[in-house]
C-alpha cells in the first residue's frame, strides 16, 4: 500500500505539472479525480481514447459538472493495478506523458496506435498475472 500511495502522489504531481486540474488538489490515497474541462475533452471521450491506447481509466463526474452522467467532465485514475504489476514511482512520469499525449490527440488514430504499442512495450515485462 505504501508504494500505491507513493505512485499516486507522483502521478498527481506529474499531472499538475502538465496543467491538469485534480479536483482535490492532489491525493494522499490511491486515486485522483481529474477535471478535464480546461483541456477541452469530456470524460467519455478521454476514457474512449485511452482505452484505444490500452490505458484504463473511468469517466467520472466532477463537482458542478455541466455534462450528463453519461458524458462527464472528468476521469478517475488509480494506481493499485499499476503497482500490483510492479510499476514504481520512477516509471510514473512516462505513464503520465503517455496519457497526456492521448488526451491532447484523442482523435488521432495513428497516435493512439503508437501510444498503444508504447504502453504494451512498457508493460510487457510486468504481466497482470504471473501464474
Enclosing domain of residue 49: 2-123
The structural domain count of the chain equals 1
pLDDT of residue 60: 97
Please give the Cα distance from 30 to 100 (Å, whole number). Answer: 20
CATH, residue 37? 3.90.1150.10
Confidence of residue 130 (pLDDT cuts 50, 70, 90): low
As given in the structure block, the three cell numbers for residue 47 are 476514457
- Among 125, 55, 45, 46, residue whose Cα is nearest residue 85: 125
pLDDT of residue 131: 64
Give a yes or no: residue 35 inside a domain: yes
pLDDT, one tens digit per residue, over 36-45 is 999 999 999 9
pLDDT, one tens digit per residue, over 53-103 is 999 999 999 999 999 999 999 999 999 999 999 999 999 999 999 999 999
- Indicate the pairing of strand 74-78 with strand 58-60: antiparallel
Amino acid at each position: 500500500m505504501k508504494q500505491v500511495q507513493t505512485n499516486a502522489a507522483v502521478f498527481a504531481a506529474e499531472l499538475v505539472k502538465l496543467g491538469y486540474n485534480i479536483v482535490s488538489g492532489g491525493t494522499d490515497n490511491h486515486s485522483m479525480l481529474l477535471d478535464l474541462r480546461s483541456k477541452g475533452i469530456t470524460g467519455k471521450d478521454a476514457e474512449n481514447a485511452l482505452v484505444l491506447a490500452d490505458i484504463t481509466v473511468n469517466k467520472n463526474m466532477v463537482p458542478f459538472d455541466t455534462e450528463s452522467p453519461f458524458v462527464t467532465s472528468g476521469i478517475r485514475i488509480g494506481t493499485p493495478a499499476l503497482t500490483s504489476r510492479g510499476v514504481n514511482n520512477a516509471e510514473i512520469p512516462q505513464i503520465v506523458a503517455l496519457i497526456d499525449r492521448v488526451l491532447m490527440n484523442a482523435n488521432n488514430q495513428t497516435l493512439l496506435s503508437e501510444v498503444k504499442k508504447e504502453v504494451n512495450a512498457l508493460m510487457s515485462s510486468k504481466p497482470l498475472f504471473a501464474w
